[in-house]
A and B are shown apart, each in its own frame.
Chain A
Amino acid sequence: MTAGGLAEITLFLVLSVLLAWPFGLWIARVAEGGPTPLDPLLRPIERGIYRLSGIDPSAGMGWQAYTLSLLALNVLHFLLLYLMLRLQYYLPLNPDHLAGMSPRLAFNTAMSFVTNTNWQAYSGETTLSPGSQMWGLTSHMFVSAATGIAAALAFIRALRQNAVAELGNFWADLTRITLYVLLPVAVVGGLLLVALGVPQTLATHADATTLEGAHQTISLGPVAFMEVIKELGTNGGGYFNANSAHPFENPSALTSLIETFLIIFIPFALTFTFGRMVGAPRQGYALLAVSLVFIVASLAAVLSAEAHGNPLLTALGVDPHLGDMEGKEVRFGITLSSLFAVITTATSCGAVNAMLDSFMPLSGMVPMFLIQLGEIVPGGVGSGLYGLLVFALLAVFVAGLMVGRTPEYLGKKIQAREVKLAMLAVLILPLSILGGAALSAVLPQALAALGNAGPHGLSELLYAYTSATGNNGSAFAGLSADTPWFDTTIGIAMLLGRYAFLVPVMAIAGSLAAKVKLPPSAGTFPTDGPLFVGLLVGVIIILGGLQFMPALSLGPLAEHFVMLAGKTF
Chain B
Amino acid sequence: MSTQADTLSLFDGRILSRAARDAFVKLNPLTLMRNPVIFFTEVVSALVSVLGVADAVSGRPAGFELAIALFLWLTVLFATFAEAVAEGRGRARAESLRRTRTETIAKKLADPKDRRRYTKIPATELRAGDVVLVEAGDLIPSDGDVIEGMASVNESAITGESAPVIREAGGDRSAVTGGTLVVSDWLVVRITAEPGSTFLDRMIRLVEGAERRKTPNEIALDILLAGLTLIFLIAVVTLVGLAHYSGTMIPVPVLVALLVCLIPTTIGGLLSAIGIAGMDRLVRFNVLATSGRAVEAAGDVDTLLLDKTGTITFGNRMAAAFIPAPGIGERRLAEAAVRASLGDETPEGRSILAFARDRYGIVPETMKGGTVVPFTAQTRLSGLDAEGHQWRKGAVDSVLAWLGETNPPAAFTAAVERIARAGGTPLAVAEDKTLLGVIELKDIVKPSIRERFAALRRMGIRTVMVTGDNRLTAAAIASEAGVDDFIAEATPQDKLAYIRRVQAEGRLVAMTGDGTNDAPALAQADVGVAMQSGTQAAREAANMVDLDSDPTKLIEIVEIGKQLLITRGALTTFSIANDVSKYFAILPAIFVTSYPELAALNVMRLTSPQSAIMSAVIFNAIIIVLLVPLALRGVRFKPIGAAQLLRRNLLLYGVGGVIAPFIGIKLIDLALTLLGLV
Q: For residue A457, give the distance in angstroms from its CB to the closest CB of chain B.
A: 8
| Cα(A543)–Cα(B263), bound, Å | 11
> Does A183 have its Cβ within 8 Å of any Cβ on chain B?
no
User: Out of A462, A542, A564, which one reaches B579, CB within 8 Å?
Assistant: A542
Interface residues on A, range: 35 or more
Closest to B264 in A: A398
| Cα(A567)–Cα(B596), bound, Å | 12
Interface-side segment among A55-63, A93-101, A399-407, A487-495? A399-407
Considering the complex, which residues of chain A in the window 411-426 have a beta carbon less than 8 Å from any beta carbon of chain B?
A: 411, 414-416, 418-420, 423-424, 426
> Does A195 have its Cβ within 8 Å of any Cβ on chain B?
no
Residues of A within 8 A of B654 (CB): 399, 535, 538
User: Out of B234, B242, B243, B643, which one reaches A430, CB within 8 Å?
Assistant: B234
Interface-side segment among A20-28, A204-212, A246-254, A437-445? A437-445
B598 touches A561 (CB 8 A): yes
A397 touches B224 (CB 8 A): yes
A553 touches B573 (CB 8 A): no
Residues of B within 8 A of A523 (CB): 302, 459-461, 641-642
> Does B2 have its Cβ within 8 Å of any Cβ on chain A?
no
Residues of B within 8 A of A162 (CB): 506
Chain B binding surface, main DSSP class: helix
B647 touches A423 (CB 8 A): no
Residues of A within 8 A of B220 (CB): 397, 414-416, 418-420
- Tell whether A551 pairs with B641 under 8 Å between CB atoms, given A543-B228, A565-B597: no
- Tell whether A415 pairs with B595 under 8 Å between CB atoms, given A398-B576, A399-B654, A525-B642: no
B238 touches A529 (CB 8 A): no
- Residue-by-residue, is B572-605 near A (CB-CB < 8 Å gives 1, otherwise 0)? 1100110110010001000100110110110000
| Cα(A437)–Cα(B234), bound, Å | 12
> Does B193 have its Cβ within 8 Å of any Cβ on chain A?
no
A542 touches B577 (CB 8 A): yes
B236 touches A427 (CB 8 A): no
| Cα(A405)–Cα(B459), bound, Å | 10
Most B-side CB within 10 Å, residue of A423, A426, A565 = A423
Closest to B653 in A: A402
> Does A516 have its Cβ within 8 Å of any Cβ on chain B?
yes
B569 touches A542 (CB 8 A): no
A438 touches B591 (CB 8 A): no
- Residue-by-residue, is A298-337 near B (CB-CB < 8 Å gives 1, otherwise 0)? 0000000000000000000000000000000000000000
Chain A binding surface, main DSSP class: helix
Closest to A432 in B: B234
Residues of A within 8 A of B217 (CB): 401, 406-407, 415
Total residues of chain B contacting the partner, CB 8 A: 76
Residues of A within 8 A of B221 (CB): 397, 419
B643 touches A455 (CB 8 A): no
- Residue-by-residue, is B631-672 near A (CB-CB < 8 Å gives 1, otherwise 0)? 000000100011101110110011000000000000000000
> Does B497 have its Cβ within 8 Å of any Cβ on chain A?
no
Q: For residue B436, give the distance in angstroms from its CB to the closest CB of chain A.
A: 50
Residues of B within 8 A of A416 (CB): 216, 219-220, 223
Residues of A within 8 A of B506 (CB): 162, 411, 516-519
> Does B362 have its Cβ within 8 Å of any Cβ on chain A?
no
| Cα(A439)–Cα(B245), bound, Å | 10
- Tell whether A546 pairs with B583 under 8 Å between CB atoms, given A402-B570, A551-B242: yes
Residues of A within 8 A of B457 (CB): 522
Most B-side CB within 10 Å, residue of A521, A522, A523, A529 = A523
> Does A49 have its Cβ within 8 Å of any Cβ on chain B?
no
A405 touches B238 (CB 8 A): no
A441 touches B591 (CB 8 A): no
> Does A362 have its Cβ within 8 Å of any Cβ on chain B?
no
| Cα(A565)–Cα(B579), bound, Å | 29
Considering the complex, which residues of chain B in the window 195-246 have a beta carbon less than 8 Å from any beta carbon of chain A?
A: 216-217, 219-221, 223-224, 226-228, 230-232, 234-246
Q: For residue B73, give the distance in angstroms from its CB to the closest CB of chain A.
A: 25
> Does B317 have its Cβ within 8 Å of any Cβ on chain A?
no
> Does B365 have its Cβ within 8 Å of any Cβ on chain A?
no
Closest to A441 in B: B245
> Does B568 have its Cβ within 8 Å of any Cβ on chain A?
yes
Interface-side segment among B162-170, B509-517, B558-566? B558-566
User: Out of A419, A462, A534, A554, which one reaches B594, CB within 8 Å?
Assistant: A554
B240 touches A402 (CB 8 A): no
The 6 A-B pairs with the shortest beta carbon distances in the complex, nearest first, are: A523-B460, A401-B569, A404-B562, A423-B227, A438-B241, A521-B460
A interface list, Cβ under 8 A from B: 162, 394, 397-407, 411, 414-416, 418-420, 423-424, 426-427, 430-431, 434-435, 437-439, 441-442, 447, 455, 457-458, 461-462, 516-519, 521-526, 529, 531, 534-535, 538, 542-543, 546-551, 553-554, 557-558, 561-562, 564-565, 567
